Structure 1
Amino acid sequence: MKVVFTDLDGTLLENGQGPSDGAKASLAMLRNKKIPVVPVSSKTRAELEYWQRKLGLHGPFISENGAAIFIPKKYFSFKASGAVSAGRLLEIKLSKGVSKPRKFLAEMRKKGFETESLSEMGLQRAMELTGMGRALAAKAKKREFDECFLLHSGSAKELAKIARKKGLIFLMGGGFCHLCIGHDKGKAVKKLAYLYKKEFGQINSIAIGDSENDIAMLAAADDAYLVRKPDGGYASKKFKKAKAKGQKGWIEIIAGILAGPDDAIISCCLPQARQRSI
């Protein structure tokens, strides 16, 4: 059984817009083949519930860079260890919360780093930066685990170094920086893949992403793919690579996956030789 773990912004989605006709067709083919598609995103639970509906997905999803796994009740025949009821869903928290990252950023501002957090900025400002409408921008501001921010001045490399010494994880997304503690996309993918294996037996986990904050997810999967970034480059020298950028690259990879044999999958990929996404 195949399970597709996919990033959203810059991968399945472009510029905060809904899926293209080609992406819809790919999702429909995956649905017909009974291949689950699991969004693994820096987006909040509220945002991901919106995109689940838009994409026609009804299974689990992973929010805020691996901070929490959300599973529809009765999706699996057993109750996953650590899962608690969260409305109509079960939630498995892997994060230690957002208070320490926020406190760290406040300290760094006093030391000359100029940052602007999504959760603290006004709604209009969030709309301008992300290109989202009012309702979706409000959902994006509801950060529970991962502090999403802009770094206007100061070295990102230096900030990441200081964060690591404090036990924090610094990530670069498509347009925003992220600070978190105790979680990443890779840990969440491994946890959810284990649950799929417990339910269905052997699985083939497939991960698709575009940016640096997807690397842990890609490393955790059996097969991992990168799409080209807007500038035409890739986030890493590792992993299999689509020829196309963004959503077109995602469609290309899915076509290869659905072709069946591994050589068909690899043939769709190359070996390695605006508005801000969150």
Structure 2
Amino acid sequence: MNCVMPYAIFTDIDGTLLNECYALPFDRAILQRAFEQHRVVFASSRTADELVHLQRRLGVSGDCIIENGGALLLRETSTAEQFATSQLFNIENDSVWIAPLVEPVENFMDDVQRETKRHNLACRFLQDLDDETLAAMSGYEQDDARRAKSRRFGILLVPNGESNARIKKLTDGLKLLDFTITFGGKWLTISRGADKGVAMKEYLGAMQKKGVLFTSVAIGNEENDLTMLEAAHKKFVIKNPTRGYASRLASVTGATLLKQDGALGWTEMLAQL
């Protein structure tokens, strides 16, 4: 008898599930059915506060990889118990567990600020922006801007007009100090080892300890999704509407390049499972 393992779909959010206006471009019922039929795990550079709010808005509830793999947001106590450092939080009247996978931002914020000053850059940190400025810069509502600033495991760097060459000097210097730098959307994420692929493996390992096995599926559109796609059994690459496929994702062995533009590729992915 063939034993078919259910799918665990690890999905990026901005540019993958949501379009450039942060909207779901297909019927919400399709997403809700996907949550009923599969294990859908949001995997994003967004914070726990943002993803709890987003799931409520979309009418779904599930586990998440937050802050580019800095931690797992878990809904079930039995899963949280697989991680010794998990803590229970109340986020917008929703009780969730957060299991850190990297060190917290307060441990290294000073180091990043010193390195930025050493290079005499005008870059700004998202956490330092007021809600109104961040909302204008990102297209968020002000409440969403506030949620985006509640970062626990990473720093989002706003280039603020600096050239790519000058930004590269900064990121090269940070890498020498053992920082992890990833690009996703409008921001650079700086952390001590946050990685969506590692977080996905940690999550699947925890589920395996509970006796639950999945066939992993990953879908994304930017460089910060690379390790997640590489680690998944099934890999899907979103076609960015104006830039096409991210070159590093398009070259992942075995990846399916979706034909629909942007987040419409998400339903195309579902049809191929």
| Bucket of the pairwise TM-score, normalised by the shorter protein | 0.7 to 0.9
What is aligned with 2:3? none
In the alignment, is the contact (CA less than 8 A) between 1:38 and 1:60 conserved in 2?
A: yes
What is aligned with 2:102? 95
What is aligned with 2:141? 133
What is aligned with 2:33? 29
* C-alpha spacing 1:101/1:224, structure 2 compared with 1 (3 Å): farther
* Structure 2 residue 170 is the aligned partner of structure 1 residue 159: yes
Distance (Å, rounded) in 2 between the aligned partners of 1:101 and 1:222: 36
- Once the two structures are superposed, residues 10-50 of structure 1 have per-residue CA deviations (whole angstroms, 9 ceiling, x without a partner) of 0001124332334x2431331342x0111011011110110
Once the two structures are superposed, the pairs formed by residues 192-271 of structure 1 within 5 Å of their partners are: 192-235=203-246, 236=248, 237-238=251-252, 239-257=255-273
Once the two structures are superposed, the pairs formed by residues 75-94 of structure 1 within 5 Å of their partners are: 76=79, 79-82=81-84, 83-87=86-90, 88-94=95-101
Give RMSD over aligned pairs: 1.9
* Structure 2 residue 132 is the aligned partner of structure 1 residue 124: yes
| Structure 1 residue matching 2:193: 3-state secondary structure | coil
Distance (Å, rounded) in 2 between the aligned partners of 1:101 and 1:229: 32
Offset of residue 75 of structure 1: 5.8
In the alignment, is the contact (CA less than 8 A) between 1:101 and 1:179 conserved in 2?
A: no
Query: How many percent identity over aligned positions?
Result: 27
In the superposition, the TM-score normalised over structure 2's length comes to 0.86
Offset of residue 241 of structure 1: 1.1
What is aligned with 1:168? 179
Structure 2 unpaired stretches of 5+? 1-5
Distance (Å, rounded) in 2 between the aligned partners of 1:98 and 1:245: 35
In the superposition, the TM-score normalised over structure 1's length comes to 0.85
- Once the two structures are superposed, residues 79-119 of structure 1 have per-residue CA deviations (whole angstroms, 9 ceiling, x without a partner) of 21323333422221012122315532442233222211111
Structure 1 unpaired stretches of 5+? 258-278
What is aligned with 1:41? 44
Distance (Å, rounded) in 1 between the aligned partners of 2:207 and 2:233: 14
Query: How many residues are matched?
Result: 254
- Once the two structures are superposed, residues 169-216 of structure 1 have per-residue CA deviations (whole angstroms, 9 ceiling, x without a partner) of 111111111111122111111111112233354310101100011112
What is aligned with 2:63? 60
